[in-house]
């Protein structure tokens, strides 16, 4: 169901975020994020001069390379546009995420290594959902290659990681009853 009709309003700001997942020829996976912030009006920036309508005030890119077990092999970050000249200087710090695993503890690991003054708010924010993008890139591909439906989780042989993470995967839902009956706790 779509959102209700909005009140009369004027468009001011757009933050556009795109995530993409890739399988590499060497068997690793690249998860990439691209974020831009634009305004519908022009304004002056002390470092860059005039920022015209639609010109990116912020533009950050991140590439995280993981193996099929979601262990981070490499991280590259880049600040293409920023409001301050020193913003791009922090990008190399993101290589410190090598060795982390995308899964439980992912956000805490990021915060421990690149939060606050050790990182960039925008780049760090892009990293959090990258674990979900990696999961959506890798797991369905594995199922596809094993000729199993996306909903099939039996090959994992253990409690599904998505169990109780949302309404659909609640232990008492019909989704769990159908796809992971051994973990179903609802009424029959």
Of 88, 86, 35, 89, the closest CA to residue 58 belongs to 35
- Residue 188: the pLDDT is 83
Least-confidence region, from 6-10, 117-121, 148-152: 148-152
Its pTM stands at: 0.86
For the cut 60, the answer to whether the pLDDT of residue 10 exceeds it is yes
The CATH classification number of 13-138 equals 3.90.1010
Residue 155 has pLDDT above 60, yes or no: no
Distance CA 85, CA 79 (A): 10
**Given this model, what pLDDT does residue 179 score?**
81
Read off the pLDDT of residues 104-122 as tens digits, 9 standing for 90 and up. 999 999 999 999 999 999 9
Q: What is the average per-residue pLDDT within 138-145?
A: 88
pLDDT mean across residues, the chain? 93
For the chain, what are the domain ranges? 13-138, 151-183
């Amino acid at each position: 169901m779509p959102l209700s009709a909005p009140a009369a309003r004027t468009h001011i700001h757009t933050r556009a975020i795109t995530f993409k997942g890739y399988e590499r020829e060497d068997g690793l996976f690249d998860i990439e994020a691209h974020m831009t912030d634009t305004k519908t009006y022009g304004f002056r920036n002390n470092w860059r001069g005039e920022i015209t309508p639609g010109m990116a005030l912020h533009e950050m890119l991140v590439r995280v390379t993981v193996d099929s077990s979601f262990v981070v092999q490499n991280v590259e970050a880049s600040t293409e546009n920023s409001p301050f000249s020193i913003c791009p200087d922090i990008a190399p710090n993101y290589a410190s995420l090598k060795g982390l695993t995308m899964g439980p503890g992912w956000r805490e690991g990021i915060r421990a290594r690149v939060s606050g003054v050790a990182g960039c708010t925008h780049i760090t924010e892009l990293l959090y959902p990258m674990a979900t993008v990696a999961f959506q890139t890798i797991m369905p591909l594995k199922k596809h290659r094993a000729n199993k439906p996306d909903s099939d989780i039996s090959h994992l042989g253990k409690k599904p990681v998505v169990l109780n993470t949302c309404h659909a995967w609640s232990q008492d839902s019909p989704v769990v009853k159908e796809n992971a009956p051994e973990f179903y706790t609802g009424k029959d």
